[in-house]
Structure 1
Amino acid sequence: MMTNENGNYTGKVAFVTGAANGIGRATALAFAREGANVVVADISEQGNQETVRMIEKLGKKAIAVRCDVTQTEDVKAALAKTIEAFGRLDFAFNNAGIEPKKPAPTAEYEEEEWNRIVDTNLRGVFLCMKYEIPLILKQGGGAIVNTSSGAGIIGIKGSPAYTAAKHGVIGLTKSAALDYAAQNIRVNAVCPGYINTPMMDRFTGGTSEGRAKVIAEEPIGRMGKSEEIAEAVIWLCSDGAAFVIGHAMVIDGGQTVQ
C-alpha cells in the first residue's frame, strides 16, 4: 500500500461513489488508510454499511449515504451530508457505474438500455462533478478522479452504449480538467481493464468458462485487483501527481496495448 509522505490526506475528506463493493470499496478503504475521512456513497445501503464497518475497523471515520448518481437531488443530498458530517470536501472518486444487460449491435440496441447505461455511466459522472466542484473550490482546491474503462479508449463490439459512455467520461474529464486547472482542482480518469469484482462476476456469468474467456484477453494472464485501481486513484489525488491534469490512466494488464 502506498504511503503518503506529503501527508495531504490527513484530515481531508474523500467522497466515493459506487463504494458498496469492488473498486469503489477498495478505494474508500485506501483513502481511509491514508488518513482521509470517507463518504461511502452507493445505492446499496447494505453494501455502504459494510464498507463503513471495514473503515471503522481501521480506526478511521466514515459515513454511509445512499446515492443514485442519476438523480440530481440524491447527489446534492449526499454532498450536503458530506459537509454536515465533515465540513469540507477535498477529493472525489466518481466511480459508480453499471454494465450492459446483454450485447447487441448498434442498430438492434434498445433505446431504453442505451438511456439506462448512459444515464448512470456518463450523466452520473457529470452530476457528481457539477455539485462536487463548488465544494472543493471552497477548500482552495483538491482532486477528482472519474472511472472510465478500457472501453473508453477502444471500441467494444456489441456494446455501443457502454463504449460511448466510457469514451464520454474521458472527454468530460478533459474538459473539466481544463476548466478548473488554474483553480487548483485536478481532474483525471482511470481506465480499468477486467477487474475481479462483483460486476465482472455478472459479466462472466460467474462461471469458470466465462472467467477463462476474460483472462484470455489479458496479456498479463489474470484479472486485475480492485486494490490495483485504488492505488492509482490515491496517487492521482496525491501531491505526487500535482502536474497530472486531464489524464486517462489505463490500468488493464496490457489488454488495450496496440
Structure 2
Amino acid sequence: MANKVEVKELLEAGVHFGHMTRKWDPNMAPYIYMERNGIHIINLYKTAAKIEEANEALKKIAASGRKVLFVATKKQAKDIVAEKAAACNMPYITERWPGGMLTNFVTIRKAIKKMSSIDRMKKDGTFNTLSKKEKLQIERLRAKLEKNLGSIADMTRLPAALFVVDIKAEHIAIKEAKKLNIPVFAMVDTNSDPRQVEFVIPANDDASKSIDKVLSLVTASIVEGLSDRKAEKDEQPVEAPAVQAEAAASEE
C-alpha cells in the first residue's frame, strides 16, 4: 500500500487553490469544497484520496517494468517535472510536445537514433573528418534533437501511462494517448474537464509549490514500485548451468 497522503501537507502547499469561479468547468463540481473571494477551493480530502488511488496504479506500472511519460511544458512546472521524473528514472517532455510523439512513435524513434548516430560519429572520429560547415550543421541538429527528445532517448517503446500537469495546456498529448488507449494521470484544476483523463488529481496546477508537492508524492510511489521490482528480481534463484542443461535434455 502506498503511503498515506496528509491533507495538512497539501494545504500548506496551496494545492486547494482553484481558479476564479467564472472560469470554472462544471464537471469539476464534485471536487470543489467552497467558493472564497471569487475563487473555488478544492476539497483536499478528495485530492488526498485521488492521489492515493493514482499512487497504487503508478506503483504497479513501475513494478511491472513499464514507463510513465511525464508531460509539462508550462513555465512553472517544467523544471520540477524534469527533476522529479529524472530522479525516478522516467522519461519526460518539458519543451514543446513533438506532434505524433505517441501516434507516430516510429518516426520519433528514428530521430532519437539520429541523435545516437551523431554521438557515435564523435566517438569514432568521423566527425573530425567533416568540413567546418558540416560540423556546424550537425551540431545544430544535435542540439535541437537533444532539446526536444533528450529526455526520452532511452524510451524504446510506448509508455504504459502519461502523467500530465495541466490538461488544458497538454491537450494534444492527451488526444494522442486517447487514440492509443494509454491511460492518463493528471493534476486537474477547477477550469478543466476531468472526464478527459482516467486518473484525476484535483489540484492547483499553476503554483510551483503545489506542483512540487503532488509530483513528490506520485514519484515516491514510482520509486517504491521500482524498488519492489528490484527486490523481486534479487530473490529469484539463478539456475546453475548444469541444472539448465539437464532441464533442456529432459525436454528433448
* TM-score by shorter chain over 0.5: no
Larger RCO, structure (CA 8 Å, separation 6 or more): 2
- Bigger share in helix: 2
- TM-score, with length taken from structure 1: 0.29
* Bigger-Rg structure (1/2): 2
- TM-score, with length taken from structure 2: 0.30
